[in-house]
Amino acid sequence: MNKAELIAELAKRRGLSLKIAKIAVDTIIDRLKKAIINGERIEIRGFGSFSPRHYGPYIGRNPKTGEKVQVKPKRLTYFKVGKELKEMIMGAKKD
């Protein structure tokens, strides 16, 4: 599923026009993005949480050439799957 399909499904479920559904999806994504850029933790019950992680510098290797490269410290987002979503995914696998 991509963003356009998500917008169409939200429009259908909530009885919104595509235009309004697009504004809604963009608003939600912009809010999530803002939180991530600001280093805020996001917690959505039943879905999961996004938390900022810092990674220190390290010496890595270019997997193609084997050459050593200095990897700079960086920030990334770690997503932890919520309990309900985890069960939904695992349940689907068992069937």
Partner 1 sequence: MTKSDITSSLYERLGYSKRECGVIADSFFEIIKETLSKGENVKISGFGNFVLRDKKERKGRNPKTGEEMIISKRRVLNFKLSQVLRKAMNEK
CB 25 within 8 A of CB 6: yes
Q: Tell me the residue type at 79.
A: F
Q: Measured from the CB of residue 18, what is the shortest distance to partner 1 in angstroms?
A: 14
Interacting residues with partner 1 between 54 and 93 (CB under 8 A): 74-77, 79, 81, 84-86, 88-93
Q: Measured from the CB of residue 35, what is the shortest distance to partner 1 in angstroms?
A: 5
Residue with tokens 């010496």: 59
What sign does the dihedral 33-42-46-79 (CA atoms) show?
positive
State the residues that interact with partner 1 by CB under 8 A: 1-3, 6, 9-10, 13-14, 16, 20, 23-25, 27-33, 35-37, 39-48, 50, 52, 74-77, 79, 81, 84-86, 88-93
